Amino acid sequence: MTGYSDRINHAFAFAAKHHDRQVRKGTRLPYLTHPANVALILTRYGRDDETIIAGILHDVIEDCVREGWTREMLEERIAAKFGADVLETVLAVTKRRSDDDGMEFSRDEARADYLARLGAASDAARWVCAADKVHNAGSIFADLRRTIDADTVWGRFSGGRDGTLHWFRSVHTRLQALGFTAPIMAELEALVSALDAA
């Protein structure tokens, strides 16, 4: 049965340990609510355990290089505990801070690199990418509906409203151009349109 296994439970425990004390931008929500929702979205679309586990772990390397954990250590731990395929999927949807020569990326360069690397990404990685953006866009939309001051929501993001919408559209357009036509794409498109109209 998709949606629960000992490995999925183990992935939640691993993510909880590494995201401990992190919260969602501009909220008091534990960060773990995000990978948990990504996992739920992937389960709703009938994805396999490997993809769901990668969804749970998708931000560990990007957000948890701190307090004695290097990127290399996190990569090794994910590969050892969950396998090379899960690690490959996680790395495909991890924004890099620098290029192969160690030159630090600007925010726009990091985003362009992410979009470019989706070209070589597996189908599982594209599912995780789409589920990540569905949850992020859906969370923003829900927060906008609960507030009387939209700027308090959009102000959480360095690109503001326009930059955030542009990023979601860029990911959707890139996945579409790569031939990723899974049903989740319609959900992502609808959420981005709803955000634009909000």
Q: Where are the domains of the chain?
A: 6-197
Q: What is the CATH number of domain 6-197?
A: 1.10.3210.10
- Of all residues in the chain, the percent with pLDDT exceeding 70 is 97
pLDDT in tens, 131-187: 999 999 999 999 999 888 999 899 888 889 999 999 999 999 999 999 999 999 999
DSSP 3-state assignment of 98? Answer: strand
Q: Which residues pair with 98 in a beta bridge?
A: 104
Q: What is the mean pLDDT of the chain?
A: 91
98 pLDDT more than 90: no
Q: What is the reported pLDDT for 47?
A: 96
Looking at the whole model, is its pTM more than 0.85? yes
pLDDT in tens, 103-140: 899 989 999 999 999 999 999 999 999 999 999 999 99
